[in-house]
């Protein structure tokens, strides 16, 4: 019975993690911390966003969406474009912004 309960809890928490959606993009043109802060500020101002961060070294921009909120990839791209940058790759991912940030930090530390 314990094994069944543990399996149920694991399956349930896995579904919760999948429900979190972020938009992850590779952005060209960011060359300094001021660039990164500008993009981060614009994304954090979007009402659909839960939080955003920019990894300048890897040219990655991530915005986590609030539960039940949607942003089209076109709208996200337009925000980046309006800030003066170019999106070279974009995708929705089932990870939180924090999980992606930790993954990038781990990758950067390994280099």
pLDDT of res. 26: 97
pTM of the model: 0.77
pLDDT of res. 3: 55
pLDDT of res. 14: 44
pLDDT of res. 9: 47
Candidates 34, 64, 30; CA nearest to 49 is 64
Q: Which CATH class is domain 21-110?
A: alpha beta
pLDDT of res. 99: 94
pLDDT of res. 41: 94
Q: Within 10 Å of residue 9's Cβ, how many Cβ atoms?
A: 10
Candidates 78, 67, 69, 102; CA nearest to 25 is 78
- Give the residue ranges of the chain where pLDDT is below 70: 1-20, 110-111
Candidates 101, 57, 61; CA nearest to 80 is 61
Domain-by-domain residue ranges, the chain? 21-110
pLDDT of res. 101: 93
């Amino acid at each position: 019975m314990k094994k069944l309960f543990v399996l149920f809890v694991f399956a349930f928490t896995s579904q919760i993690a999948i429900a979190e959606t972020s938009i992850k993009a590779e952005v060209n043109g960011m060359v300094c911390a001021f660039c990164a802060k500008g993009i981060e500020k614009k994304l954090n101002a979007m009402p659909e966003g839960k939080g955003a961060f920019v990894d300048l070294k890897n040219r990655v921009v991530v915005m986590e969406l609030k539960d039940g909120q949607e942003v089209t990839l076109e709208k996200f791209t337009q925000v980046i474009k309006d800030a003066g940058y170019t999106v070279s790759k974009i995708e929705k991912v089932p990870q939180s912004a924090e999980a992606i940030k930790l993954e990038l930090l781990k990758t950067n530390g390994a280099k």
